[in-house]
Each structure stands twice: as C-alpha cells, then as structure tokens.
C-alpha cells in the first residue's frame, strides 16, 4: 500500500488528484465491493443537509462525476444550490477523502457514453424508476419495467431525466488513520486562479 501522506508531507504533489488516483487504485485492490462508492451531501432549499451514497464513475482533471435521475431529490437540490460534498471512506485502508465544491452537469455526450455502457436492465430501470417519488406498491414498478422493455427493446435511448453531474472541487482533504487517534490530515485548497495549496491539520 502506498502510504502517500505518511512521511513526506513536505514533498507532496502539487495537485491533490495525484494523491487521489493512488488512493483509489489502492481501494480497487483492497475493497470487496464498490471502491468508487462515496457519500454525496447536498443541501435542500431549507438548508437541511441530505446525504446518500452514489458511485463516482469518472474522475477527470475537472472533477468527480456521478450519474443519476436529474428529477430525483438530489437532482432538485443540486439544481438549486449547485454545491455539494462527497466523502469516500475505505474501511480496510483506514482512509477517508473529503471533497467539497461546485456542481456542473456533464455533457450530453458523456452521459450518453456512460448510459450506453450500463447493462440493459439498468438502462431500462432508468426509464422505469421515478427516483425519489412515492411508490404505492412494488408491482407498479415491475409493471413499468415490463412496459419500458416492450417500448424500447434492447436499445433504449438515454432518458432526458437521467445524466451526469461533475463536482468541481475547491477543497480535498486526505485522512489516514494513525495510532492513538493521532491521524494524518492534509487539506488542499484551490484558489481563484486554480492553484492548489495544502496545509496539515490537527487530527
């Protein structure tokens, strides 16, 4: 395991993405399922936080991308505030990454590419599920799945209500468990010119 932040804080990479890519690679080896799962926090119109797990399916130079129903509760909250946080916790590695930033929609082409890469059942499910809406009984959902299978066959197009978001980070904190709760914490902050600086935090 590459313990990036253990001994060489003064020689940290210029960008936190360099550390993140190493940590997610470690997680892909160590975690039994969904190493790319992260808790996504949003805030509703009344200021109440709301958190749920999503899969962070794409990480690029601009940020962290996830895909969902844009008319879901999270979809409405993201549209209202355009801000979010995500939190990765890899238990077996005793590591946490906290990311905060602004939200933008990924391009239609990126959403299409990801939608098409999903198994057929998931693509049909995206049509059938009115995510976050009340469901009177499960049979209604099963019937909707059958209806959408009949309608779209093997090549459903991406629904207009389904797509990706990108969290563009302005702060990324790496946390590594150490003995006696004297954990390592390093937070990178990005200034308005896009330059990252880092600081070490008390545990």
Binding site for ligand FMN (CB under 6 A): 34, 37, 50, 52-55, 66-69, 72-74, 131-132
**CA neighbor of 66 nearest in space, from 102, 23, 108, 37:** 37
Nearest residue (CB) to ligand FMN, 36 versus 189: 36
For ligand FMN, the closer CB: 19 or 35 = 35
In terms of CB distance, is 66 or 196 closer to ligand FMN?
66
Any residues with CB less than 8 A from the CB of 107 and at least 6 apart, and which?
Answer: none
| Dist CA 173 CA 38 (whole Å) | 14
Q: Helix (H, G, I), strand (E, B), or coil: what is residue 147?
A: helix
CB nearer ligand FMN, residue 74 or residue 158 = 74
Compute how many other C-beta atoms are within 10 angstroms of the C-beta atom of residue 86: 23
Least distance (Å) from ligand FMN to the CB of residue 75?
6
Nearest distance in Å: CB 1, ligand FMN: 23
Backbone angles phi, psi at 58, to 5 degrees: -145, 135
- Smallest separation, CB 183 to ligand FMN (Å): 25
């Amino acid at each position: 395991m590459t313990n990036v932040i253990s001994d060489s804080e003064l020689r940290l990479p210029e960008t936190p993405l360099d550390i993140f890519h190493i940590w997610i690679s470690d997680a892909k080896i160590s975690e039994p399922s969904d190493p790319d799962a992260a808790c996504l926090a949003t805030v509703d119109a009344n200021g109440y936080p709301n958190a749920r797990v999503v899969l962070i399916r794409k990480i690029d130079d601009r940020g962290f991308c996830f895909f969902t129903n844009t008319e879901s509760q999270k979809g409405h909250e993201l549209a209202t505030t355009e801000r979010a946080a995500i939190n990765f916790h890899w238990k077996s590695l005793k590591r946490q990454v906290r990311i905060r930033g602004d939200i933008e929609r990924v391009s239609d082409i990126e959403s299409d590419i990801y939608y098409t890469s999903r198994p057929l059942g998931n693509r049909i499910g995206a049509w059938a599920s009115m995510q976050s809406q009340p469901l009177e009984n499960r049979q209604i959902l099963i019937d909707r799945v059958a209806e959408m299978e009949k309608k779209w066959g093997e090549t459903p197009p991406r629904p207009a209500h389904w797509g990706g978001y990108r969290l563009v980070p302005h702060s990324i904190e790496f946390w590594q468990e150490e003995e006696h709760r004297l954990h390592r914490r390093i937070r990178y902050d990005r200034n308005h010119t896009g330059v990252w600086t880092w600081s070490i935090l008390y545990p």
